[in-house]
């Protein structure tokens, strides 16, 4: 129970890595604030997490004895974010952990000069700007507490380039830069800021993940063959499991690494060392 007594805010919690991390936080004793937009966005060419999926994540966490607050929040809107954090403080009185996970894989799949301004904007706004907005809303409370752990889910796309994913790579590189800069801002104030860079994460049915299949679709790789295709780039010959990322997040959130800040942890089966 590494997180017993702690309150964790998790964005993008309806499914995928957000759900996997929320469940592991609950298993380790944390109470939870689960945030997701719970609706589709016109510029994003696939279905986003739904209200029913977010409610199911909450149900699973409650079954693990976590107290749960659910907030359907568009992270492009600072007013909605501030409302969610005000609800959190009214309910729990503190925030110990912020897990910035919300993100999109597409619109992608075009050479840089063919990317529309609208598609560039939505990618940067969700994958990068929302991390800053959440940090802005939560950080001031952590500073007053004199403690806190902010964990940003970046990507191997924040470490290397990917053809036809210029917006995604730019956003994830930005998340890593933001992580390091904010870590320096908050280091004297005892608030830690770290990032996790997942590699190719398997789309587990248990958490209803679909990010890898969406990336495959953008790359015009058959969904029936996409796992084998991604495996070819993995030195360990295994895809990353959602649980791998959740375990890393629990460690970063816990007091086991209370003097660790500004670090970028890769969980990618060795992909980024090539």
Instruction: Establish whether 168 is a catalytic residue.
Output: yes
Non-local (6+) Cβ contacts of 215 within 8 A are: 105, 106, 108
106 close to 46: Cβ distance less than 8 angstroms: yes
Q: Which of 56, 141, 162, 168 does the annotation list as catalytic?
A: 168
Residue 128 CA to its chain's centroid (Å) = 11
Q: ∠86-264-182 over CA atoms, to 5°?
A: 45
The beta strand positions in the chain, using DSSP E, are 7-11, 31-36, 68-72, 97-100, 148-153, 191-198, 264-267
274 close to 232: Cβ distance less than 8 angstroms: no
What is the C-alpha separation between 176 and 99, in angstroms, rounded? 14
The token duo for 267 is: 């969980």
16 close to 50: Cβ distance less than 8 angstroms: no
Q: What SS3 state is found at 222?
A: coil
What is the C-alpha separation between 128 and 120, in angstroms, rounded? 11
The token duo for 17 is: 């890595």
What is the C-alpha separation between 197 and 154, in angstroms, rounded? 5
The residues assigned a catalytic role are 168
């Amino acid at each position: 129970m590494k997180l017993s007594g702690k309150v964790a805010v998790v964005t993008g919690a309806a499914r995928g890595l957000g759900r996997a991390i929320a469940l592991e936080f609950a298993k380790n004793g944390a109470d939870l604030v689960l945030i997701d937009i719970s609706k589709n966005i016109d510029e994003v060419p696939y279905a986003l997490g739904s209200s029913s999926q977010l409610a199911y994540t909450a149900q699973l966490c409650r079954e693990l004895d976590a107290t749960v607050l659910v907030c359907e929040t568009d992270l492009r809107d600072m007013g909605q974010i501030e409302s969610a954090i005000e609800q959190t403080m009214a309910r729990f009185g503190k925030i110990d952990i912020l897990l910035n996970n919300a993100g999109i894989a597409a619109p992608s799949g075009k050479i840089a000069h063919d990317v529309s301004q609208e598609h560039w904007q939505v990618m940067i706004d969700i994958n990068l700007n929302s991390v800053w907005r959440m940090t802005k809303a939560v950080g001031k409370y952590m500073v007053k507490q004199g403690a806190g752990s902010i964990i940003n889910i970046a990507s191997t796309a924040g470490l290397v380039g990917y053809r036809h994913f210029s917006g995604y790579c730019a956003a994830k590189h930005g998340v890593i830069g933001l992580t390091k800069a904010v870590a320096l801002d908050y280091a004297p104030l005892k608030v830690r800021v770290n990032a996790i860079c997942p590699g190719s994460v398997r789309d587990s049915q248990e958490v209803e993940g679909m990010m890898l299949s969406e990336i495959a679709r953008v790359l015009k790789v058959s969904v029936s063959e996409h796992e084998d295709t991604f495996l070819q780039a993995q030195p360990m010959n295994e895809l990353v499991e959602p649980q791998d990322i959740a375990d890393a997040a629990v460690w970063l959130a816990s007091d086991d690494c209370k003097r660790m800040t500004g670090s970028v942890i890769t969980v990618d089966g060795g992909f980024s060392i090539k």
